[in-house]
Chains A and B, each alone.
Chain A
Amino acid sequence: MTRLWDPCISHGAGTSEDFLTKFFADRSRRAVVIAGAGFDPRSTRATELLAAVLKDRLRGIFLREERSGGQSALGETGNANARRLTELVPNSRVAAFPVFSNDNATVGGRRTVKALESESWADVTDIVVDLSALSVGVAFPLVKLVLKHARERRRNLHVVVTDDPSIDEEIEGISSEKAETLFGFKGALGVHDSSGVTILWLPQLTARRRKALGRVYATLTEEQEVDVCPLLPFPSRNPRRGDGLIEAFQEEFESVWRVDARDLIYVDERKPVDLYRSVLDIDDARKRVFRKLGGSLTVLSPFGSKVQSLGALMAALERDFPVMYVETLTYTSTPSKRADGDLVHVWLHGEAYGHAVDAAVIEEEAKCP
């Protein structure tokens, strides 16, 4: 079966900057960068690079996720990052929206889509989404929407992320009480027609979201049988990260999820495409086996590093996998270090895959009111 991103044009440590610099040096390219303007020290990294290359050919849309009850210091850092981003890209706007409604319902994904729903892409050849400082609940629907627009309007779509799992580990928060599917990523979960399927849950683990992962499992298992195959990072910067996770989730593995060594899936921490391919391979194999047993439904939970989340996003976009997640209600601590991780780039749509981006057509569109 052909896959959307196999082969996939992606770049990792060291090569991303080089590629982006050369690619956007072409003066016929005009781009829009969509990034998070939050407290995350990775907020500005990709935009700095793009602004340096594209200069006035770059415009920006910076998303400000608002959560109540957090530390005021986080808000100040977020404001500072937002200011820095708008300084880097003068032709830009900041779209602020609440991630939770007054009754604590998760609305961030829907509000993101609303903020970008009527966005005109007429003046650009390339759309770059920087996931580094966006929460999963915002990033996933955002990329889904922009991918749809990029396909319809024949634009290039790039996704970049500053890879630093230690920053992801450092950011602490209070989880919402609800495990739910991400906005736009329901798949076939919960409908009558899929009530007989066997669910395969592929959670990306992180020790600080242990309770949230427990909530996802509890929600999934309420009605249906669930097999669990945790995704663990290996190779990884810290070679013991996977072992540490096994240790942290020992109780769940033994007493609740019933996971043994054969169920563990190791994916390269720095390559989103590795996770994407592994998930699709497993899904293909399960579908064959369960075809006559009511079917199989793969559910993802991207609690791990940003790079791995990108791999999960690609898999979910391709196969319409449900994505179960527990959104962070409020953040309580912020990483102190500067963002010095590697920039990872994945080209999601456009010329690289034979979908020509016609600069002349774009020129015409831009002239239309």
Chain B
Amino acid sequence: MDNPFLKRATEYYRDEEAFLSVISPEPIRHFLREAEKESLYEKLVNIRGTPGSGKTTLAKLFEFPALSALLRNRSISTYQDLIDAMGSYGAIVGGRLEVIGCRLPLETDYREVWEFEYPETVKLTLTTTLIQARAVLAWLRHLQKGGYNLSDVRIEARQEAEAALNAIGGVAGPALLERARQIERSLYEVVGALVPPDLDQLDEAVTSAYRPFDVIERIVVKNPDGTERRLKPLVILDDAHALHPAQFRGLQRALIRREIRVARWILARLDVLHPKEAFEALTEERADGAQMPGVTASRDYLAIMLQSLDERRKHRVAFRRMATDMAKRYLVQMEIFRTRGLQRLENLLGDQVPPLTESKFDDFARSVDAAQRRLRISDKRRRELLDAIEAYTPEGMSSVPRELQLAMLSILMHRMEKRGQTGLFDTELPEPASKLPKVDSAVFAGARIHLLHKYDRPYYVGIEDVCDASSENAEQFLRLAAELVEFSAVNIIRGESALLEPSVQHKKLREKATHVIQEWDFPRSKQVRKLVDTLAASCLQKTLEPNAPLGAGANAYGILQEEFEAIPDRHPELAQLLQAAIANNAVTVVPRHNCKNKEWCLLELGGIVILRHGLTLKRGGFLEGTSASLASLAREGA
């Protein structure tokens, strides 16, 4: 069965209509919400995110073929939202294209330039020359594929750039193309050679002043009716983390110059940065990225982080909206669901958790009775607690199922014990009873997770849990959703209901999480796996304390903010390990978390790790620790 959820987003890139059909406008609105539309095309834009966070999808959407397809299909109502979103960010104005975007993946060829035994300035020139030649080729190729004749294409050049204009081949489309092809071929020969030529043997074409980014203001195309369109050229450099760190910095410096008229975006993963820079980027009040000498972030470039650092609640809600919208777009592509009118993933996920079996319930009741006796709590007090529990109604539920009531009772009894410790030989209760422990959502959440671990009661249920377990990562969401969708489709084929029972959802999600973690094979993945397993085990221990001190439990490790910031200097190995963990969604950094009058930095376990170990998806519960103890844990795993 063809399951579109199993495909990477890149699978859709070759066909614009297919690509647009799975694109939700939500992430564009969400990530670019604070960007002024002029800044997107005037300054250098640095976009950072984890793998699968949607960097390439964003880039693809701003490319000329996707925008053209969007306008071609403007009469289709489902695209209207997307057209509006692109309009808000200046790509489409008055129903016409305003920019001509091209995406250049930097994964191949470019890094090899840095291995040449040439001076760094030469290597940087070769890098920027290759990028510029390929950008020109990509813009012109897009126009040709879009049905334009090259003879109807010209550029508007910057004033006083005559010499530079000659170096790029002039203003006419065919000459521009020919010059760019010549440059690419010459550079490709150097990059592909087993033994690169000596510096003085380098082809003049590749070292000459070929700088189209400094020259081109607009690309002008003539329409069939004779009118002209002036398009702002945009180059999107994707996967820039593949460059050498010095090459990356050099490229940033080269593209930050204000003389450049071409709009330019650099997309990279967080681990492109030096650990110190990455830690600074993560903990800054606003994600402004790496600092470079003489460069002021807000004035010279725009930084966009595809990961929430502030207003986390808002981000989580926005991601849920985006993910459900995305799931809807994928689901309608599956005939088996479409023909049955099943268009929303949330409608496939049943939320009625079945009660515990009688035998399990009786077993649990006996253990609670035993706890009551051990804690020497009178029947009267137990009744009072039960009354308070029965009076409590959690949000979205009409009543609390009996096994949860019992689990809540157990937690409350243990909380009472903590309040009034009795002596070893006391037979009477002390007087803690002046005030009963509060029955609230934390007790309810604690009861749910305790029952997960005691009786395997389904815990991860419903669309919100699938979204929250995705760590705000679109690809991770699709991988989790794929499991559920696949199982639902199999049910339909078997003639059963498409609705997935909570126990099935819970089991499938946890199995998938275990599989994903086993499959990790990024650099340092073995050490990362060991570190998060150890942290998760400690969190679980805290979570399962009988009085549920943190309610739903812990899923993070907290270090004082100032200690966290010093990790790159004091524990460089740990810094690299954390950087790998963060870059691959194993851990999320929550800076400046205020608790007990102190400022903490939380290392929150990723959604997949949480699923695997049966921890809460609710945020905030953490273990207090130090960077030294974390470094020692990391060393043990090495």
Contacts and interface: CB of A to CB of B under 8 A. Distances in A.
B340 to A, nearest CB: 20
A174 B10 contact: no
B115 A175 contact: no
B195 interface: yes
Interface stretch (A186-194, A308-316, A350-358): A186-194
B108 A180 contact: yes
Nearest to A141: B194
A289 interface: no
A69 interface: yes
Interface string A82-108: 000000000000000000010111010
Contacts of B244: 101, 103, 105
B6 A218 contact: no
A329 B523 contact: yes
B194 A180 contact: no
A177 B141 CA distance: 29
B242 interface: yes
Given A184-B194, A186-B192, A174 B111 contact: no
Interface string B96-137: 000000000101110110110000000000000000001001
B108 A181 contact: yes
A332 B2 contact: no
A332 B107 contact: no
Contact of B134 (A181, A192, A218, A254): A192
Nearest to B272: A103
A251 interface: yes
Contact of A145 (B194, B245, B521): B194
Interface string B523-547: 1111000000000000000000000
Question: Which one of A144, A175, A190, A219 has the greatest number of beta carbons of chain B within 10 Å?
Answer: A190
Highest count of chain A CB atoms <10 Å: which of B1, B108, B185: B108
Nearest to B115: A110
A69 B191 CA distance: 29
A174 B7 contact: no
B314 to A, nearest CB: 31
Contacts of A255: 1-3, 6-7
B181 interface: yes
Interface stretch (A10-18, A120-128, A221-229): A221-229
A192 B108 contact: no
Interface in B368-414: none
A174 B194 contact: no
A288 interface: no
B116 to A, nearest CB: 9
Interface in B7-50: 7-8, 10-11, 13-14
Nearest to A174: B521
A178 B185 contact: no
A300 B71 CA distance: 38
Given A174-B523, A192-B180, A192-B184, A221 B10 contact: yes
Contact of A107 (B115, B521, B523, B525): B115
Interface residues of B, number: 41
A175 B2 contact: no
Interface in A194-223: 195, 211, 218-219, 221-223
User: Which residue among B8, B181, B192 has the maximum number of chain A CB atoms within 10 Å of its CB?
Assistant: B192
Nearest to B105: A222
B522 interface: yes
Interface string A150-167: 000000000000000000
A332 B527 CA distance: 12
A294 to B, nearest CB: 12
B455 interface: no
A174 B242 contact: no
Nearest to B107: A178
A148 interface: yes
B519 A195 contact: no
A9 interface: no
Contacts of B112: 110, 183
B7 A144 contact: no
Contacts of B191: 186
B108 A190 contact: yes
B523 A254 contact: no
B181 A193 contact: yes
A113 B194 contact: yes
Contacts of B14: 221, 223-225
B61 to A, nearest CB: 14
Contacts of A225: 14
A31 to B, nearest CB: 23
Interface in B314-355: none
A49 interface: no
Contacts of A177: 522-523
Contact of B195 (A117, A180, A221): A117
Contacts of A144: 194
A156 B10 CA distance: 46
A218 B14 CA distance: 11
Interface string A241-283: 0000000000100111000000000000000000000000000
A218 B522 CA distance: 16
A107 B244 CA distance: 12
A169 to B, nearest CB: 17
Given A145-B194, A178-B107, A191-B188, A69 B524 contact: yes
B194 to A, nearest CB: 5
A211 to B, nearest CB: 6
Contact of A251 (B6, B109, B184): B6
Contacts of A180: 107-108
A258 to B, nearest CB: 9
B522 A184 contact: no
Interface in B164-190: 180-181, 184-185, 188
A251 B526 CA distance: 26
Contacts of A219: 107-108
Contacts of B107: 178-180, 219
B2 A254 contact: yes
Contacts of B526: 69, 174, 332
A245 B2 CA distance: 20
B10 A222 contact: yes
Nearest to A144: B194
B245 A184 contact: no
B194 A221 contact: no
Contact of B13 (A179, A195, A221): A221
Nearest to B269: A177
Contacts of A222: 10, 13, 105
A103 B245 contact: yes
Nearest to A212: B521
Q: Could you say which of B2, B3, B10 has the most chain A C-beta atoms within 10 Å of its C-beta? A: B10
A95 B280 CA distance: 40
Contact of A191 (B7, B184, B242, B524): B184
A105 B111 contact: yes
Nearest to B187: A191
Interface of A: 69, 101, 103-105, 107, 110, 113, 117, 141, 144-145, 148, 174-181, 183-184, 186, 190-193, 195, 211, 218-219, 221-225, 251, 254-256, 329, 332
26 contacts: A101-B115, A103-B245, A105-B111, A105-B242, A107-B115, A144-B194, A145-B194, A148-B194, A174-B522, A176-B523, A177-B522, A180-B107, A184-B194, A191-B184, A191-B188, A192-B137, A192-B141, A192-B184, A195-B141, A211-B519, A218-B10, A219-B107, A221-B11, A254-B2, A256-B6, A256-B7
Given A193-B181, A254-B2, A256-B6, 17 more contacts: A105-B111, A105-B242, A117-B195, A176-B523, A178-B242, A181-B108, A183-B112, A183-B194, A184-B193, A186-B191, A191-B188, A192-B134, A221-B10, A221-B11, A254-B1, A255-B6, A332-B526
Q: Which 9 A-B pairs have the closest CB atoms?
A: A192-B137, A186-B192, A174-B521, A184-B194, A105-B111, A255-B6, A175-B521, A218-B10, A113-B194
Interface of B: 1-3, 6-8, 10-11, 13-14, 105, 107-109, 111-112, 114-115, 134, 137, 141, 180-181, 184-185, 188, 191-195, 242, 244-245, 519, 521-526
